[in-house]
Homo-oligomer: A and B are copies of this chain.
């Protein structure tokens, strides 16, 4: 599983150098939840003064830790807090035992760190339906509490990986009231990625001081244009969780209208979401799909996601085939408004089709050259209105089949 597959060709050259976020410390351990010979638990401790926001999967079969996190995230408070994450077992569809397992972990973490259990947020990722061996995790919590370090974020990114082929991190720095504010985040996820979140766990930290409700509004709005605009395989996980913690240690107060901070946070979220797509199971190409001219923004997203999720388009991209006919097919099936004879389709900057047919100047070699690139843009204009959307996906290759046909065996 982890380490079993070669690193994605779309992976960045190296894990980025992430800034230390004052008020956040990390520790990791190899608890043997499922994997052997690697870390599989990470603890993040957050100092007093921290506000928290979160977004979660909308799955109706969401996991025990997601339900627990959702209960806690809306509560006011800025006392010390913690995040505990394990990989290898998602503690999803585990019935009443699942809730007890989550409580065992969060209460042990609260005790080890000396904080309220209501301020301990946990996530689990991995196989569904198997009991979480929580005692293996709780047995490590004192050791984890003793090992906390301000510089442990890269190790944290590694400990939460499942089928990921590379750890994912991103950061930004922005000036607020003359003070430098830092943002750093990590993510995991490579399959079961679709809107309404995905098999994604994302943890973002900032030393900005942000009121809880403001932080939550920012996070929710930015999720709609970042993590909810990516898809690998249209499948949605039971466990998706994105937590954002603001420690306030920079002393810089950020309000709801601080566009510089919002833009910086958006950049970190977009970067992490793109890294998740680039680690899409079996991915060899990164595809940006831009739809304009739709009757509404909602329609534009429906069309964009129909293109992004079409197995026939994703296999054409894998085969470097500029098969724009399949784009026409996806627009036709999406259910959103379209007029065949007003469509304009571009691969990269190349005009491929317009006025209901292939463009008279288009030559197959032009499209073929675009498709050989590692990052490909497909643009569709509907010619109907002002609605736009941009989403990101990857190709569908033999690698996806290999990874998912034997995940548990």
Contact = CB atoms under 8 A, between A and B. Distances in A.
Interface string A354-367: 01111000000000
A234 interface: yes
User: A127, A233, A329, A355 — which one has the most chain B CB atoms within 10 A of its CB?
Assistant: A329
A402 B49 CA distance: 55
A316 interface: yes
A233 B192 contact: no
Given A321-B407, A355-B95, A61 B236 contact: no
Interface string A202-224: 00000000000000000000000
Nearest to A399: B401
A341 to B, nearest CB: 7
Interface in A303-341: 309-312, 315-316, 318-319, 321, 323-326, 328-333, 337-341
Interface in A336-381: 337-341, 343, 353, 355-358
A396 B401 CA distance: 7
A40 interface: no
A111 interface: no
Interface string A188-201: 00011010100000
Binding site secondary structure of chain A: loop
Interface in A75-117: 90, 92-98
Assembly of this chain: how many copies? 2
A397 interface: yes
B238 A332 contact: yes
B129 A325 contact: yes
A235 B325 contact: no
24 contacts: A59-B333, A60-B339, A61-B338, A93-B325, A93-B340, A93-B357, A95-B355, A97-B357, A98-B357, A129-B324, A129-B325, A129-B358, A235-B330, A235-B333, A236-B333, A238-B328, A311-B400, A312-B404, A315-B400, A319-B405, A319-B407, A321-B405, A397-B401, A398-B402
